[in-house]
Amino acid sequence: MVDASRRTLAPQLASPLPAPVARMLADLNEADPARVLPIVLEALSVVCGAVGVRMSFCDVEERSLVVWDAAGAALTSRTHRMDIEGSIHGKVYRSGGTERAEVDLLPAILTPVMARSERLGVLEVVFDAPPEEWAEAVVASAGLLLGYVVVVGDRWCDEFQVARRRQDMNLAAEVQWVSLPLAAFKTDRISLAGALEPAYEIAGDLFEYSCGREELVAGVFDAMGHGITAARLSDLAVAAHRNARRNGRDLGGQAAFIHDTLVGTFGKEGFVTGQLVAIDLGDPGRSRLVNAGHPAPFLHRKGGRPRQLRPEIDLPFGVPFKGGYRIQPLELASGDRLTLFSDGVVEARPDGGDLFSEARLARCLRETRKLSPREAARNIIASVREHRAADLADDATMLIMDVL
């Protein structure tokens, strides 16, 4: 017997998409890469009756937004670069919320361009008169659509990667960025974000995660050395982690496979420190951790202060030793924030100055506790960069995870 509510819903599900939406999706599927964004922007302009639609991409360091117009070209006739700090566009990017504003003396709606919680830029829709309430929902939905278009488009073109760069990236950093997952991810049970510096020259640090039905598996890796050799080491470690995970190995098996892969490939010529965590989404109190010569994580419980855990520390991945990696209990609970980081964070120092230090990191974690993982990671990495007051001498990486 068919449920009455399903009978009521059936005609809605069977009805075709609105013609403009169906036409836009068909055009997107066949468009040249350079036309993908303009198609969405032009369709949005028609639906909303806007006088102007623009999108801005955030650069990889999350310092500024570069504005593109509806034709898909960087603007030169108006301010084409806006700081993340101090601008209304930056406020929308940081908050992740839709806002009404005034742009060039005209009413506008601004919304983040994002996929899940990964923020990519800001969508700006300008009107000749104050828009009706429904327009906000339409613009916000368009921001989500654009986010997924950009994420998928990165798989077949360079348009969006180039748009997010303010300078040339070295080869080692290129290897690293290709290996990274999206910088942020969120469900109703977990929220996380990663950040790393120096964005254009990083070589050796990586973070990794995968969210399944029952658990989230994540890790931070720091390869010995610098440059392309370090990039190859950490890239192989992440590839081995993914391969072991996708082949059904448990956390201990994943750690062992990373180790065996590095030993078999590099012998005694390379190693990678790392930390793996498996967060049980159904019962966070049964989560686990593996530490391979890596700085211990910080745990910040709801209403408490951040404290650095004291796990048993095994040798780095790739350093030959007898025995296996220890799987250690990690008792988490709803409301907890867990932060993994590389030594480049706490060891950053200005010439002749003091280390950034674990104490300073703990203070930053406390000060950013009310922010989303994405904003917390961005702010802390910016603090590390400011403390160093020069190019970082070592990679600095963070992965912040909230248990919801």
Q: What whole-number distance in Å separates Cα of residue 396 and Cα of residue 68? A: 30
pLDDT at 167 over 50: yes
Q: Please give the pLDDT value at position 74.
A: 43
Q: Which fold has domain 171-403?
A: Phosphatase 2c; domain 1 (3.60.40)
CA proximity to 332, closest of 288, 296, 369, 371 = 288
Q: Where are the domains of the chain?
A: 4-163, 171-403
Q: Please give the pLDDT value at position 71.
A: 46
pLDDT at 10 over 80: no
Pairing outcome for strands 190-197 and 184-186: antiparallel
pLDDT at 13 over 80: no
Q: Please give the pLDDT value at position 76.
A: 42
Q: What whole-number distance in Å separates Cα of residue 205 and Cα of residue 344? A: 9
Q: Please give the pLDDT value at position 28.
A: 86
Q: Work out the pLDDT band at 25, boundaries 50, 70, 90.
A: confident
| Dihedral, 152, 156, 158, 161 alpha carbons, nearest 10 | 20
3-state secondary structure 300-364: ECCCCCCEECCCCCECCECCCCCCCCCCEEECCCCCCEEEEECHHHHCCCCCCCCCCHHHHHHHH
For residues 307-320, average pLDDT: 97
Q: Work out the pLDDT band at 6, boundaries 50, 70, 90.
A: very low
SS3 of residue 293 by DSSP: coil
Q: Please give the pLDDT value at position 77.
A: 40
CA proximity to 82, closest of 106, 107, 64 = 64
Q: Please give the pLDDT value at position 17.
A: 65
| pLDDT-wise least confident of 189-193, 202-206, 284-288, 399-403 | 202-206
Residues 66-102 have pLDDT tens digits of: 887 654 444 444 447 889 999 999 999 999 999 999 9
pLDDT at 35 over 90: no
Q: Are 372 and 321 in contact (CB under 8 A)?
A: no
Mean pLDDT of the chain: 90
Specify the pTM. 0.89
pLDDT > 70: percent of the chain: 93
Which CATH architecture fits 4-163? 2-Layer Sandwich (3.30)
Please tell me which residue, 352 or 138, carries the higher pLDDT value: 138
The maximal CA–CA distance of the chain, rounded, in angstroms, is 77
Q: What whole-number distance in Å separates Cα of residue 53 and Cα of residue 389? A: 38
Q: Please give the pLDDT value at position 313.
A: 97
Residues 317-373 have pLDDT tens digits of: 999 998 899 999 999 999 999 999 999 999 999 888 899 999 999 999 999 999 999
SS3 of residue 269 by DSSP: coil
For residues 263-276, average pLDDT: 95
Pairing outcome for strands 272-280 and 287-292: antiparallel
Q: Are 222 and 207 in contact (CB under 8 A)?
A: no
% helix, strand, coil for the chain, step of 5: 40, 25, 35
Q: Are 208 and 266 in contact (CB under 8 A)?
A: no
For residues 138-164, average pLDDT: 91
Which residues are bridge partners to 222 per DSSP? 205, 273
What string of DSSP letters covers 126-149? E-SSPPPHHHHHHHHHHHHHHHHH
The tokens describing 336, both together, are: 């907890």
Residues 224-247 have pLDDT tens digits of: 998 999 999 999 999 999 999 999
Q: Please give the pLDDT value at position 193.
A: 98
Count CB atoms within 10 A of the CB of residue 175. Answer: 18
Q: Please give the pLDDT value at position 69.
A: 63
* CA 55 from centroid of its chain's CA atoms: 19
Q: Please give the pLDDT value at position 16.
A: 62
| pLDDT-wise least confident of 19-23, 178-182, 302-306, 373-377 | 19-23
| Dihedral, 256, 261, 264, 269 alpha carbons, nearest 10 | -100
Q: What whole-number distance in Å separates Cα of residue 341 and Cα of residue 294? A: 9
